[in-house]
Amino acid sequence: MDILGIIEKMLKGIEVKLNCDFFDGREKYENIAKKIIFTGQIDKYYNYRFGELEYRGLKFETDILNEENYQGNAVVNYTEYEIPYTRIIEHKHFEYGMQNKTIITKEYPNDWDKEKEPYYPINDDKNNNLYKKYKQLSEKDHKVLFGGRLGQYKYYDMDKIIEEALGCVNKEMP
Ligand SMILES: Cc1cc2nc3c(=O)[nH]c(=O)nc-3n(C[C@H](O)[C@H](O)[C@H](O)COP(=O)(O)OP(=O)(O)OC[C@H]3O[C@@H](n4cnc5c(N)ncnc54)[C@H](O)[C@@H]3O)c2cc1C
């Protein structure tokens, strides 16, 4: 079974709505169940009452190249100071693509403000202390569980976030 099949099976019998912003229908979503899992920004959920958490932004530059193969691999990271991008993704290699052309995306570090996508939390003392205040507030809030990189203000790799989600389910529904 491929990944889509696994996800379809997991969601069987569950109503799924896509492209809905929680904050555009907050009252409705908060009352949809006795307890909700929120995977958005915890500071936004609490209307930034203690202040705003900061994130690292990213900028993407995508090119179609007239060659079969650019880098021979899906992801190559660049850590050199002189190179402005941090990695190059060559999409066809995720799926063993055999096309004549190839598409690459360069990822550049970028500033962040509230209008932009929050990519990585900045886990320095200032932001961690602010997050602690939101976490303490959330612990008294028994109607909502905060999950994931935005809800818990923490970087997770894919395998770790799945482990965390399964741990959460086991705790909530032993
Ligand atoms: C740029 C980047 C590169 C990465 N590269 C790797 C990698 O190479 N390998 C690896 O293992 N991991 C990588 N990760 C980490 C991986 O993406 C995360 O582990 C994973 O996505 C975390 O899952 P999550 O559920 O916490 O967050 P997300 O996947 O971000 O899910 C949160 C969900 O909540 C939804 N949401 C948020 N706010 C709202 C709202 N207001 N209303 C409705 N819905 C909302 C979002 O739409 C999203 O679907 C990378 C992360 C980033 C940002």
pLDDT in tens, 122-152: 999 999 999 999 999 999 999 999 999 999 9
Is the pLDDT at 59 greater than 80? The verdict is: yes
Confidence tier at 173 by pLDDT (50, 70, 90): confident
Tokens 């006795």 -> residue: 34
Ligand 1 pocket test, pick from 89, 157, 160, 168 with the greatest ligand atom count within 8 Å of Cβ, gives: 157
CA 161 – ligand 1 centroid, Å: 9
Q: Which two tokens stand for residue 96?
A: 């063993």
Q: Which helix H or strand E contains 48, and what residues bound it?
A: none
Residue 3: per-residue pLDDT: 80
Give the integer Cα–Cα distance in Å for 147 and 46.
Answer: 15
Tell whether ligand 1 has an atom less than 6 A from the beta carbon of residue 118: no
Tell whether ligand 1 has an atom less than 6 A from the beta carbon of residue 40: yes
Residue 2: per-residue pLDDT: 79
Ligand 1 pocket test, pick from 93, 150, 154 with the greatest ligand atom count within 8 Å of Cβ, gives: 150
Confidence tier at 174 by pLDDT (50, 70, 90): confident
Question: Are the beta carbons of 85 and 78 closer than 8 angstroms?
Answer: yes
Tokens 């500071």 -> residue: 43
Is the pLDDT at 1 greater than 80? The verdict is: no
pLDDT in tens, 20-50: 999 999 999 999 899 999 999 999 999 999 9
89 closest CA partner among 103, 110, 109: 103
Is the pLDDT at 167 greater than 80? The verdict is: yes
List, in order, residues 6 or more apart from 152 with CB less than 8 Å away: 42, 146, 164
Instruction: Specify which residues 102 forms β-bridges with.
Output: 65
- What number is the average pLDDT over the span 99-109? 97
Give the integer Cα–Cα distance in Å for 57 and 121.
Answer: 9
Give the integer Cα–Cα distance in Å for 28 and 24.
Answer: 9
Give the integer Cα–Cα distance in Å for 118 and 125.
Answer: 19
Question: Are the beta carbons of 23 and 150 closer than 8 angstroms?
Answer: no
DSSP secondary structure code for residue 31 in this structure: T
Domains annotated on the chain, with CATH = 3-54+119-172 (3.40.50.720), 56-110 (no CATH)
